[in-house]
Structure 1
Amino acid sequence: MSELLPVAGDDGSVRASHAERDAIVERLNEAAAEGRLDFGELEERVERALSARTHGELAALTADLPARPGADPAKPLTLKGGMHGAKREGLWTVPARIVAHGGMGGVVLDFTAAECRLPEVAVEAEGGMGGVVLVVPEGWGVNTDGMEGGVKDKTATTPRLPGTPLIRVSGKPGMAGVVVRHPKRRELRRSKRRAELTQG
């Protein structure tokens, strides 16, 4: 089945895992970026993916999309800044592990409108020359004890609210460093507009 690892004897009734749901959501976001899905289709399919119970329900969501060869839902989300930078923002599902390489252009991980069902998320950040920025909603917890210096945590004075995720950051800051901050007003407005479009 598209985007799922084969399971012997699986007729579609095998129960789906969180990792498999996350893999399908990631593929749907990629398909939207490629122009294969419009915003409405993306929102509808992501909602169905997050509530899917079986492999069959998940497979139906990507049946009309080209499969990625060798896709493995157990792999971490890896972003590489390269020359032009990389960003993950908007509606996306947060996996248990994220690897961010700043490179020349930098990496931005914006959790403002992200779906996170995990109590803890590990972010391995390599700042490089472009740096890595984590945009974390107020109330989420952040632990940067694993960073080898060079991290600016602007959320440190904000207490973590019960039931919210803990983002555990580790790695090397590089030349540009790693910044953890709350969303700015324009980012909150953009997130609110997306939510209104989803509800409408």
Structure 2
Amino acid sequence: MSTPDPNIRLSNAQRESLIGLLHTATEEGRIDLDEFAERSKQVYEAKTYGDVERLLADLPEDDRALAVPKRPKTVADVPNLVPDPEHSRVRREGDWTVPARISVEPKHSPVTLDCRHADFAAGDIEIALDLYHSPFKLILPRNASAVDDGVRLQGGKVNNGCQQAAVGPRFHLTGRTHWGRITVRYERRFLWWRW
């Protein structure tokens, strides 16, 4: 990947990618925790790539490219994801492709969809829920948002902390819950821990 023009403004996804590179450098012992904290602060304050270029100058050349998540070109290439467990636990995380439509129908089973490192098949993603005594958790990257207006509650609750419009993918939650709990949140951070 070629080095971006130093005059181009950074996106939120690029800032998060740079923080990830600094985190990796910390884990490898290339920079210490104080340097990580100072450089991270400077990344969040930076406006253009030129503002952060010097923060990467002493890292190996492979780490300098901005790793912005790629999106598949066609929705047809991505299969529908249908986790419908009974008395089980489902957790989808890491590098995976989020299809344009997801159907979730668990019975007495917690389901977690961690989209922080995922690719997205579409800009608008519909999640059709039918929760029966099951908690559902959706973890989004910082550039994504979620709307839960289409969820009908029969007991349970919805806790959506990602409603503000963002430039990235937008999730639309529909369906119903039978004493199920829906949680939509962003990644939590403390120093170098992420969850």
**TM-score, structure 2 normalization:** 0.54
Residues 181 and 151 of structure 1, relative CA distance in 2, 3 Å threshold: farther
Runs of 4+ in 1 over 3 A off after TM superposition: 188-191
Say whether 1:160 aligns with 2:160. no
> 1:131, 1:173 within 8 Å by CA — same for their partners in 2?
no
Cα deviation per residue 1:106-144 (whole Å; 9 max; x = unaligned)? 211111111114110000112211221111122312111
Q: How many equivalent residue pairs? A: 121
Residues 117 and 189 of structure 1, relative CA distance in 2, 3 Å threshold: farther
> Matches of residues 1-200 of structure 1 in structure 2 within 5 Å?
18-22=74-78, 76-149=80-153, 150-156=156-162, 159-162=164-167, 164-185=168-189, 189=193
Residues 144 and 98 of structure 1, relative CA distance in 2, 3 Å threshold: same
Between Structure 1 and Structure 2, the one with more helix by share is: 1
Give aligned-pair identity as a percent: 21
Question: CA shift at 1:86, angstroms?
Answer: 1.1
Runs of 5+ consecutive residues of structure 2 not aligned to the other structure: 1-71
Between Structure 1 and Structure 2, the one with more strand by share is: 2
RMSD: 2.5
Larger Rg: 2
| Amino acid paired to 1:160 | A
Cα deviation per residue 1:16-45 (whole Å; 9 max; x = unaligned)? 9724543xxxxxxxxxxxxxxxxxxxxxxx
Runs of 5+ consecutive residues of structure 1 not aligned to the other structure: 1-15, 23-74, 192-200
Cα deviation per residue 1:145-186 (whole Å; 9 max; x = unaligned)? 1101344233246x3222x11100001122122221122338
